[in-house]
Every structure is written in structure tokens, then in C-alpha cells.
Amino acid sequence: MLLDLREGHIDSVIVYKLDWLSRSVKDFHSLLERFEAARVNLVSVTQGFDTSTPAGRLLRNILMDFAEFQREMISERTKDKMLARAQKGLWNGGSPPHGYASQGKQLVVHPEEAYVAKRMFELYGTTHS
């Protein structure tokens, strides 16, 4: 989109909501500057406000601040939840570390891989490589 914007192929960017374009105030304003420089209109389908007025620009900025706040709160809650699961001994997902297998909601030792992982630590302890 930014390449098409630079080459003048776009005259409007239409989004469902502003926070679907960006949830970072800094990134949003950077995009907005690019749109304004290229004379591209930004239209939010569900948020009808006039950004040609000071009140409309204020509302737009407030909405972006709340979108960023919401993103940060979701991130914080997710990290807290993952920490609580880990403290209970539960696996949070992803690829299990070498030497373990995911079984249900927990990690269990994978005997063949565990031997290799243990040997790697022993070798590192003596060779530092």
C-alpha cells in the first residue's frame, strides 16, 4: 500500500475502524503524515467524524490513544496469564524445548532427546563451545 501511495495510485484508504489500521499512536501519525503528503483521504467506515475540524481531529486522536491503551492492556494481561500458567507447571504452547515433549497441558521429558540435551550441557561445561 505504501508503495502504491508513493506512486500516486491511491486517492483514499478506507478502514472499518481506525484501530484496524494501527494500534500505535506513533505509527498512526506517521501513516497520517504520509497520507497527507500524498493527498490521500483516510476514511473510517464505522466512525463518522469530520477530521477537517479541530474537534474531529481531537476525537480521532482520542480514539487512537484508547486503541493503543487497549493493545497494551491485552498484552499485559496475556503476559500475566502466561506467567501464572507457567508457575502452575503448565505449558504455554509453541515448540517444546529439546529434550521435552508437550503432553496435554504440560511438558514431559522425552528420554532420547533428554540424553542429547544433557550431553550438550556437559560438553559445554568442559569445552565452552
- Give 69-80 pLDDT, tens digit per residue: 999 999 999 999
Give per-residue pLDDT as tens, 8-52: 899 888 888 888 888 888 998 999 889 888 988 888 888 877 677
Please check whether residues 76 and 121 belong to one and the same domain: no
**pLDDT reported for residue 84:** 95
Strands, E assignment, 1-129:
12-15, 41-44, 100-103, 106-109
Please check whether residues 52 and 96 belong to one and the same domain: no
**pLDDT reported for residue 44:** 85
**pLDDT reported for residue 105:** 87
**pLDDT reported for residue 83:** 96
Q: 56: pLDDT confidence band, cut at 50, 70 and 90?
A: confident
Is residue 113 a contact partner of residue 99, using CB atoms and an 8 Å limit? yes
Q: Quote the CA–CA distance of 93 and 103 in Å, as a whole number.
A: 11
Is residue 9 a contact partner of residue 38, using CB atoms and an 8 Å limit? no
**pLDDT reported for residue 69:** 94
pTM for the full predicted model: 0.62
Please check whether residues 18 and 81 belong to one and the same domain: yes
Please check whether residues 36 and 71 belong to one and the same domain: yes
CATH of the domain at 66: 3.40.50.1390
Please check whether residues 46 and 104 belong to one and the same domain: no
Please check whether residues 82 and 23 belong to one and the same domain: yes
Please check whether residues 54 and 94 belong to one and the same domain: no
**pLDDT reported for residue 87:** 93
Q: What is the number of domains present in the chain?
A: 2
- State whether the Cα torsion 96-102-107-110 is positive or negative: negative
Please check whether residues 110 and 70 belong to one and the same domain: no
Compute the average pLDDT of residues 81-88: 94
Please check whether residues 74 and 102 belong to one and the same domain: no
Domain that holds residue 52: 1-88
- Cα three-residue angle 105-108-113, rounded to 5 degrees: 135
Please check whether residues 72 and 93 belong to one and the same domain: no
- The H or E element containing residue 46 is none
Is residue 60 a contact partner of residue 51, using CB atoms and an 8 Å limit? yes
Q: Dihedrals φ, ψ of 48, to 5°?
A: -85, 95
